[in-house]
Amino acid sequence: MLRYIFLRGCLAILVAFTVSLAAFLLLNVASDPAQAIAGEDATADVVETIRARYGLDRPLTVRYFDWLGGVLQGDFGESYYWHKPVAALVADRLDETLTLALSALAVTIVIAIPLGALAALNPNSWIDRFALGVAVSAQAVPNFWLGLIMIIVFAVMIPIFPVSGDSTWRHFVLPAFVLGSSSVPAVMRLTRTGLIEVMGADYIRTARSKGFRGWQLLRRHALRNAILPVISVLAVQLGQKFGGSVITESIFAINGLGRLALESILGADIPTVQMLIFVFAIVFVAMNLLADILNAAIDPRIRIG
Amino acid sequence: MLKKAVQRLAAGTLAVVPLLAGIAHADKADDTLRVAFTEDIINLDYHYTTKREYIIISELVDETLLAINPANGSYLPALATAWEQLDPVTMDLTLRDDVTFHDGTAMTADDVAYTYNTISTQASQTLSGGRIAVWFDRAEALEPQKVRFHFKTQYPLALQDMAIRVPIRKQGTYEAGGSFDPNAASGGPVGLGPYRVTSFESGSELVLERYDGYYAGGPKGDPAIGTVVIRSLPDEGTQQAELMSGSIDWINGVPRDVAESLGKMPNVKHLSGPDRRIGFLILDAGGLVDPEGPLTNLKVRRAMAHAIDRAGIASALIGGAAARIEGACHPSELGCNQEVTIYDHDPEKARALLAEAGFAEGFETEIWSYRDKPMSEAIVSDLKAVGIKVNLRQVKLDSLNVARANRQIPAYFGTWGGDTAPPIRQHFDPETDRNLSGDAELSAMVTEAYAELDPDRQGELFAKIHARITDQVYWIPLWSYSVNYLTDPELVFPLDDDGFPRLYKASWTQ
């Protein structure tokens, strides 16, 4: 197990460095950081001053290995845009993204698992069709559209939540719903399929013959087995929410890592983009690893390593 | 595209929702103007920034030696009450004696000399220093209210730089920690302007309060609103929703159709004013990209100028105060000459000129563009109508810059905002790759005009330059832009001719 975790940790770091190198090259090819910082109407002398100030006039290889050397010593460099150490910048924004990601995951769980369970207990009924309808709708609706509609309905027409910001728990309700709803289809369908399969198993028939029915049967016998693949998916979804909240954070003006990623890419703030990609890649691999470990912990038949 | 469509749909939906009429706006009651910018505000020291949002903030927090009259471009006294050019490289300025920094200390000539001497050093890495490096040598305080500037060379636009690019900092600002710190004022300078910084959360919110010690009789007048809150809201749809909900009172840069739709609501006011930005088409007249290319033929260039319906495009696609321009400058710009050769929209004449030039069947070329795709497409469509087959290359600004530097662009649709420098300076300088004219004489005239001290002679040179650019069709000047604002209906927001939004002029209806 420990060896497995160690190998997956090494893989995460390798992935992070590879992706950050790709991001570094792509950003430098696709944009001119000095021009992006200076703005559209900046005069040539201003652009050149910025280029010299941030060392952007040095060759690409020198800049990349300079960054890499810093990273190996724990220094991710200074943001071109925010004029502060990138690590401090990311740390400042971490709270908001974690809050949003965990709230969104809670929304997913609260909606998807009961809905999936209800659909599985009543296959081919109107409840099942309703659940399927919810899943299809949630999958079809893009986040930015749902975000704007939620703002119009619950912040403008019926002003019970603020439009944007991140200073109170109320600010997170709408974005958590928007971000969480995108994972509902996958989790709901997996719960439904897993439960339908489990409900046909011999041990469930035995449990029924012992008098277990409804919620009791579900909780004590069926759900524990059906939930295994759901846990894996939830862990992966948490990783995706952590790095994939770019649109939601921008629409709701939440100062988290997603918004920072978008601003950094648009502003060609290469050190920040590189660290964010580094962090996102590691979180993603870590969440996959967590899913494996949780599966092994819940199901003694699974062995990893 | 889809996102924009949704925003429009949302705007349309909101426009007919009667529930909204009852939403209360409390901003007048607490005398707070709430503003939203799409740009993240991260540094309040204008010496280290360039973008328009920072200029808007600097106008609130900072003060410069002179000011520019937005109505006619002339210089107005600000911190300096008088200025005298002793010789081509020496200028004395007399300062006001009733000006205090936001911490209450009086401003003196030492502060002015310190600011200029500090920001002009290469070590300071200021962006304003790069701008004045052309002319500024050193400044010295002669008396508490008198400062002398020594120039490296005679430079008639020194006053312009003093008016728009160099806010005055308190002596010792950048060395407060012992060594030079470029971020010393980034969190909120101790300024001289009508508003002082009371709190600043980088990238999120800036709160400004009216400074009661602001000097009377200055060009900015007496600000009416007590508090200004500026929030960074990157998504335009969110800005509009905040305005609908009454949490924001002022947004700008709103797309025309959205602004017109939301402007019909009872709790929103739509203002459309001029923008300092102009659009133009730059042609490879000098054959720098293709020495034998059709664009080197003057008749072809004139045909193109006749082919494009500039007034129609400006009216249909930009609207508001947008208008066709004739000269290569914004009409509000100092020295702008719009009395130049006129090329009416006349496709027949365009075809005739093409035939005379030996291109009766038209020709193929490329036009590059990095913004305003609908306008680019309209230009291409007009040119196609007279037989010029244009391949439109809609790219990012960075890509256009690289291709232009590599001489790969025969023509491009450009724009210039004019907040930082006049367009002809940036586009006809002999050194710049933006200059596709190949006209060394014109470049020499530009250099001469910007070094000319005599205003009359300088005006004559500008008139000649603009006339030549248009006559030779090095550019096809297209149109000026307009900007759409959405505001709280109780907000009075005057729009200046130069298109720059000055928030300190805002007030509430009585």
Q: Considering only the beta carbons, identify the residue of A48, A156, A253 that sits closest to B14.
A: A156
CA atoms within 13 A on the CB side of B356: 13
User: Any CB–CB contact under 8 A between B403 and chain A?
Assistant: no
Q: Are residue A29 and residue A170 in the same domain, yes or no?
A: no
What total of structural domains would you count in chain A? 2
Is there a domain that residue B260 lies in? Answer: no
Helix axes A270-298, A86-121, angle to 10 degrees: 40
Distance from C-alpha of B225 to C-alpha of A12, rounded to nearest angstrom: 54
- Scored b (16 or more CB within 10 A) or e, A125-145 reads eeebeebbebbeebeeeebbb
3-state secondary structure B290-303: CCCCHHHCHHHHHH
Cβ–Cβ gap B50/A83 under 8 Å: no
Q: Where are the beta strands (DSSP E) in B284-387?
A: 323-324, 363-369
> How does DSSP classify residue A154?
I
Mutate to test the interface with B, among A41, A141, A247 (most CBs of B within 10 A): A41
Whether the pLDDT of residue A295 is over 60: the answer is yes
| CA distance to partner chain A, nearest, from residue B360 (Å) | 38
Cα separation, B51 vs B261, whole angstroms = 29
Residues of A in contact with B421 (CB under 8 A): 41, 43
pLDDT value of residue A64: 87
- Answer yes or no: do A199 and A280 share one domain: yes
Mutant choice from B37, B40, B395 vs A, greatest count of A C-beta within 10 A: B40
Residue B98 neighbours by CB under 8 Å, 6+ apart: B215, B216
Hey, are the CB atoms on A151 and B432 less than 8 Å from each other?
Answer: no
CB half-sphere exposure, A57, CA atoms < 13 A: 7
Together in a domain, A209 and A99:
yes
CA distance A174 to A107: 10
Note whether A192 and A50 are same-domain residues.
no
Residue range B142-195, pLDDT digits in tens: 999 999 999 998 888 899 899 988 999 999 999 988 889 988 999 999 999 999
Report the alpha-carbon angle B29-B30-B34, nearest 5.
110
Query: In angstroms, rounded to a whole number, what is the distance separating the alpha carbons of residues B186 and B201?
Result: 11
The pLDDT, as a whole number, for residue B12 is: 47
How large a percentage of chain A has pLDDT more than 90? 23
Whether B215 and B279 share a structural domain: no
One domain, residues A68 and A102: no
Residue B490: what pLDDT? 94
Report long-range pairs for B21-24 (Cβ below 8 Å, ≥24 apart).
B21/B265, B21/B266, B21/B267, B23/A156, B23/A159, B23/B244, B23/B245, B23/B246, B23/B267, B24/B246
Contact A148 B7 (CB under 8 A): yes
Residue A83 in domain: no
Domain of A53 in residue numbering reads as 2-72
DSSP at B316: I
Nearest-CB residue to A46 (from B43, B130, B234): B130
Question: Parallel, antiparallel, or unpaired for β B32-37 and B227-232?
Answer: parallel
* CATH code of the domain containing A210: 1.10.3720.10
Buried b (16+ CB within 10 A) or exposed e, B460-472: ebbbebbbbbbeb
In contact, A259 and A219? CB cutoff 8 Å:
no
C-alpha dihedral sign at B405, B410, B412, B416: positive
| Residue A190: pLDDT over 80 | yes
Residue B267 · residue B72 · CB < 8 Å? no
**Same-domain pairing of A126 and A205:** yes
CATH number at residue B297: 3.10.105.10
- Is A208 within the bounds of a domain? yes
Q: Is B15 exposed, middle or buried (0-12, 13-18, 19+ CB in 10 A)?
A: middle
- Distance (Å, rounded) from C-alpha B170 to C-alpha B434? 38
Asked if A292 contacts A231 with a C-beta cutoff of 8 angstroms, the reply is: no
Residue B262 inside a domain? The answer is no
Q: Which two tokens stand for residue B25?
A: 């706006």
Query: Rounded to an integer, what distance in angstroms lies between the CA atom of residue B93 and that of residue A201?
Result: 93
Nearest chain A CA: its distance from B470 CA (Å) = 22
Helix, strand, coil in percent for chain B, rounding step 5: 35, 25, 45
Q: With respect to residue A137, please indicate whether it lies within any of the assigned structural domains.
A: yes
- Residues in chain B, pLDDT under 50: 1-3, 5-6, 8-10, 12-26
B447: in domain: yes
Helix (H, G, I), strand (E, B) or coil at B260: helix
DSSP-derived secondary structure letter, B51: S
The Cα–Cα gap between B270 and A112 comes to: 44
Cross-chain Cβ contact B242/A164 below 8 Å? yes
The CA–CA distances, whole Å, from B263 to A127, B14, B240, B245, B256 equal 44, 11, 11, 14, 10
Contact: A32, B401; criterion CB under 8 Å: yes
B252 by Cβ neighbours in 10 Å (0-12 / 13-18 / 19+) ranks as: buried
CATH number of the domain encompassing residue B102: 3.40.190.10
**B34 domain residue, yes or no:** no
Is B412 among the domain residues?
yes
Domain assignment of residue B354, given as a range: 275-482
Bridge partners (DSSP) listed for residue B363: B388
- Looking at per-residue pLDDT, the higher value among A178 and A239 belongs to A178
| Beta strands at B227-232 and B205-210: parallel, antiparallel or unpaired | antiparallel
B43 touches A at CB < 8 Å: yes
Whether residues A156 and A216 fall in one domain: yes
Residue A155 lies in a domain: yes
Beta-strand ranges (E) seen in B430-490 are 475-487
Within a domain: B236? no
Polymer length in residues for chain B: 510
The dihedral region occupied by A74, where left means phi > 0, alpha psi between -120 and 50, and beta the remainder, is: left
Using only C-alpha atoms, chain A has a radius of gyration, in whole angstroms, of: 23
Query: Counting beta carbons within 10 angstroms of the beta carbon of residue B483, is it exposed (0 to 12), middle (13 to 18) or buried (19 or more)?
Result: buried
Q: B1 in a domain, yes or no?
A: no
Question: Is residue A33, in this structure, part of any structural domain at all?
Answer: yes
Among A27, A49, A168, the strongest candidate for a mutation testing the B interface, having the largest count of B CBs within 10 A, is A49
Q: Is residue A85 part of a domain?
A: no
Show residues of chain A in contact with B127, CB under 8 Å: 38, 46, 49-50
As beta bridge partners, residue B19 has none
* DSSP assigned state of B41: P
For every residue of B99-121, DSSP letters joined together read -B-TTSPBP-HHHHHHHHHHHTS
Q: Is residue A49, in this structure, part of any structural domain at all?
A: yes
Question: Taking CB atoms and an 8 Å limit, are A83 and B233 in contact across chains?
Answer: no
CB contact residues (below 8 A), chain B span 411-440, against chain A? 415-421, 426, 432
Please check the confidence at residue A95 and state whether its pLDDT lies above 80: yes
Q: Do residues B290 and B410 lie in contact, with contact meaning Cβ atoms separated by under 8 Å?
A: yes
Q: CB–CB of A40 and B397 under 8 A?
A: yes
One domain, residues A127 and A196: yes
Crossing angle of helices A270-298 and A2-30, in 10° steps, is: 150
Cβ-based contacts under 8 A for chains A and B: 125
Q: Which residues, at least 6 apart from A17, have a Cβ–Cβ distance to it below 8 Å?
A: A68, A278
- Whether residue B292 is found in the same domain as residue B167: no
Cα gap B379→B312, rounded to integer Å:
11
Provide the pLDDT for residue B22. 39
Q: Are A127 and A231 in the same domain? A: yes
Would you state the pLDDT for residue B23? Answer: 41
Q: How many CA atoms lie within 13 A of B271 on its CB side?
A: 21
- A134/A56 same-domain check: no
Q: How many domains does chain B have?
A: 2
Q: Measured between alpha carbons, how far is B32 from B203 in angstroms, rounded to an integer?
A: 20
User: Is A84 inside any structural domain?
Assistant: no
- B42 and A82 within 8 Å at the Cβ level: the answer is yes
Whether residue A160 is found in the same domain as residue A42: no
Contacts of B14 in chain A (CB under 8 A): 152, 156
In the predicted structure, residue A26 carries a pLDDT above the cut 90: no
CB contact under 8 A, A151 and B416: no
Question: Strands (DSSP E) along B144-218, which ranges?
Answer: 146-151, 195-201, 205-210
To the nearest 10°, report the CA torsion of A199, A204, A207, A208: 50
Note whether B191 and B279 are same-domain residues. Answer: no
Chain A: residue nearest B22 by CA?
A157
Provide the sign of the torsion angle of the four alpha carbons B276, B277, B280, B282, taken in this order.
positive
Angle at B14 between CA B10 and CA B18, to 5 degrees: 160
Please check whether residues A260 and A124 belong to one and the same domain: yes
Q: Which of B399, B376, B379, B380 is nearest to B389 (CA)?
A: B380
B-chain residues within 8 Å CB-CB of A144?
3, 6, 237
